Chain A
Amino acid sequence: MLKYLFRRNEDIPPGTAAVFFGFSSIIWFVVGTGLGSFNAAKLAFPDFVTGSELFSFGHMRQVHVLAVIFGWISMAFAMAMMYITPALGNTKLWSEKLGVWNCFLWNVGLSLGLTLLWFGMTSGREYSDFPWAIDLYIAAFIALPMALNVWMTILKRRTQGIYTTNWFFGAGVFMVTIVFIVGNSPEFFNLTGLSEAYLTWWFAHNVLGLWITPIAAAIAYYTVPKVTGNPLYSHRIGHLHFWSVVVFYSTPAAHHLMSAPLPEWLKSFASVEGVLILVPAIAFVSNLLLTMTGKWHMFVENVEIKYTITGVMLAIPLNMQGGFQQTRAINWYIHGTGWIVAHAHLALLGFSTFLEAAAVYYGLQTILRRKLYSLALANFHFWFLLIGFAIYWISMTIAGLIQGAGKIYEVPYIDVVIAEHPYMIARWIGGTMVFTGNIVWLYNMYMTAKAGTEIPEGRLPHELAYER
């Protein structure tokens, strides 16, 4: 990467930034899930690694969460944007050099931020844990350069129309920048109490709703038509999806604080909006599944489609849970339990991860012009990811229900801990399977870059997947 930082933009091969973002994202995925596996082991086996403050759960948990969100998910998004945005505009990325610098500064800033968190320097606010200096760094050197590259590429496109994916990309980088700056304002302006609580969850909700969910969906809008060769089922449903994300995902933040002394009308408003999250979800799932018409065999045969459609289908339980668990009637039972942890993993490790993985698989093969080194390893990765995630999700959902019952019926805390112990072990097994699968993925993509069969001009990687 370093050799490209000081080259002229014209001398940097197209796709370079995307490749660096792609490999960075996989490495951060390995790191993030490794930390997740370590943390899960601490919950399953309380005597595992004790005696050091640095390796205590309180220090390690936030490093895991932010490594996954800012390292894996967001860098995979950046990778997708760096190659999909220009491809859809029949043009080149506005500035490969800016993209390479963006990737370099992203890795440096994230490493620094996570190290600070590890050493205990934190804002203490969940999801926006980074200290304020790192927040400003992220806004200036991570979010804005990425946004600039995406917007300028869309502006300089060689087509008149803008495809659905690029609506989401263009809007997503705008929305995440605003969410990041406003959501971290409690630290900049020393806001406390209810204002701090509300803005903390406004950030946490919107980083999911206006960044992770729409960008992951945008990737699926690209991958499915591109790989299957089918036209997108409906441009019209794309409009419904896009505008309902903007309208209904941006408003329900207060539903994270249903027991807080916020005005009750705000909770009622947010709770209705929370259920209406199902509107974009229905539009998205129906549009993508109908696009698959006549090509369902690819769900079995093709790696990218297998990942994408699994991710699309996981949007169904994700939004059914998300829509209804925030209503007063259900929230009183599951709030503050492992159910929420399971739901968060359904969103980040289920729905979005599968869509991003498809983008990284497809993008790296296309840009490097190399066929996947091993289809068997890719399938191994898929199944370890899916089974590991499923074990995690199911076990944590059950643990959450046990915790909820314990909370409501005032069962002594230690009895609840004992009751959920088997599920903590299952959680660790599931998380470790995901981690193992990711190590295999990293090896597979490294070998693809190094020794993958070259793809001849005019052919696409998925067309050659089964050719020797």
Chain B
Amino acid sequence: MSWKMDKPLYSLTDEEQNSAATKVWEGESLGGIAEDNNRLPSPVVWLLGLTIISAFLVTFPLWGQRPTAEIYEDYLKLMNSPAVQAIDGDRAKMEYIVANGKSSNARIQGQLDRHPLEMDDLRMIEGQVIELQRKGVDLGEYTVVGPHVVLANFEGNWKADGTRERKQPWWDKGYTIDIFYVAYFCIAVLIVIKRLPHYSWQPDHSVAH
């Protein structure tokens, strides 16, 4: 196991070990099968890079995250207003609420656009949200799961009272672990591959076959 560190991106192995490896590589027939020493074609390298970036981007919380109870607060205020009560039909009521319940907060409005609901949905969560408002809790820590309003499963920053914020933090543990995990994987595979004879060397299969 001799290491050579002067040109790590070219090879991590000294000449002696390389020549021992190439001798075995060329001299052995593995059940009649031979192997070449080609490098990853560059389009495949790009594809792998694209895959790793996509893996983070397409799973980003924006895509498919559940709505929080916080975003429907204004809708719930409006639903019992005289203006809405005077409208006939649930569909028309909901259209009025959506048109007049727009949030000036872009984050909340974005979530409202992605999570539309109907009057019946509002009726199902109304009582639960009022109960939470009475308790004075942060509605941003509660998610709407179908007809239920439940405490979210996020593990966010620590609060002064020793509990955790139930909001996704920017450093979300899952993504943080992923970043290190992928980085370690790339480094480990790079080391494994750079310990092989350089790809400019190709075995002569006529030796063993």
Contacts and interface: CB of A to CB of B under 8 A. Distances in A.
Given A163-B31, A163-B33, A232-B35, A329 B58 contact: yes
A232 B36 contact: yes
A269 B174 contact: yes
11 contacts: A161-B28, A235-B25, A263-B153, A264-B168, A265-B175, A268-B174, A272-B175, A275-B55, A275-B59, A276-B182, A327-B58
Given A231-B203, A268-B175, A269-B173, 7 more contacts: A225-B33, A231-B205, A232-B35, A268-B172, A275-B59, A286-B40, A327-B59
Nearest to B166: A264
Between A163, A236, A237, A283, the greatest number of chain B beta carbons within 10 A of the residue's beta carbon is seen for A236
B64 interface: yes
B56 interface: yes
Contacts of A232: 33-36
A419 interface: no
Contacts of B199: 236
B44 A282 contact: yes
B153 A225 contact: no
A234 B39 contact: yes
Given A163-B33, A272-B174, A286-B44, A262 B193 contact: no
B35 A163 contact: yes
A28 B175 CA distance: 43
Contact of A271 (B38, B59, B155, B182): B59
B196 interface: yes
Contacts of A451: none
Interface stretch (A67-75, A87-95, A100-108, A302-310): A87-95
- Report the 6 A-B pairs with minimum CB-CB distance, sorted nearest first: A328-B64, A268-B174, A269-B174, A275-B55, A329-B63, A329-B64
Interface stretch (A55-63, A238-246, A395-403): A238-246
Contacts of B188: 243
Interface in B174-198: 174-175, 177-178, 181-182, 185, 188-189, 192-193, 196
Contacts, number: 171
Given A161-B24, A243-B192, A269-B174, A236 B39 contact: yes
Interface residues of A, number: 58
A272 B183 CA distance: 13
Contacts of B168: 264
A417 interface: no
B59 A240 contact: no
B47 interface: yes
Contacts of B38: 233-234, 236-237, 290
A243 B193 CA distance: 11
A248 B155 CA distance: 24
A240 B185 CA distance: 10
A160 B31 contact: no
A269 B178 contact: yes
Contact of A160 (B24, B35, B51): B24
Nearest to A165: B33
A139 B154 CA distance: 38
B5 interface: no
A283 B199 CA distance: 17
A249 interface: no
A247 interface: yes
B51 A279 contact: yes
B54 interface: yes
Nearest to B38: A234
Interface residues of B, number: 54
A164 B37 CA distance: 13
Given A268-B59, A276-B52, A231 B154 contact: no
Contacts of A231: 33-36, 203, 205
B150 to A, nearest CB: 8
Contact of A262 (B35, B153, B196): B153
Given A226-B33, A275-B58, A236 B47 contact: no
Nearest to B169: A265
B59 A163 contact: no
Given A233-B36, A266-B174, A269-B177, A282 B58 contact: no
Given A243-B188, A286-B44, A272 B59 contact: yes
Given A239-B192, A269-B177, A226 B32 contact: yes
B82 interface: no
A345 interface: no
A288 interface: no
Given A233-B38, A243-B192, A269-B174, A332 B64 contact: yes
A272 B192 contact: no
B30 A163 contact: yes
B29 interface: yes
B36 A234 contact: yes
Nearest to B182: A276
B41 interface: yes
Given A231-B36, A275-B54, A244 B189 contact: yes
A236 B40 contact: yes
A275 B35 CA distance: 29
Contacts of B34: 225, 231-232
A273 interface: yes
Given A233-B36, A263-B153, A327-B64, A273 B30 contact: no
Contacts of B122: none
A21 to B, nearest CB: 19
Given A244-B189, A282-B51, A236 B37 contact: yes
B84 interface: no
A331 interface: yes
A278 B189 contact: no
A159 B30 contact: yes
A457 to B, nearest CB: 15
Nearest to A276: B55
A10 B185 CA distance: 45
B47 A282 contact: yes
Given A236-B193, A240-B189, A272-B56, A290 B32 contact: no
Given A222-B33, A266-B174, A269-B175, A247 B59 contact: no
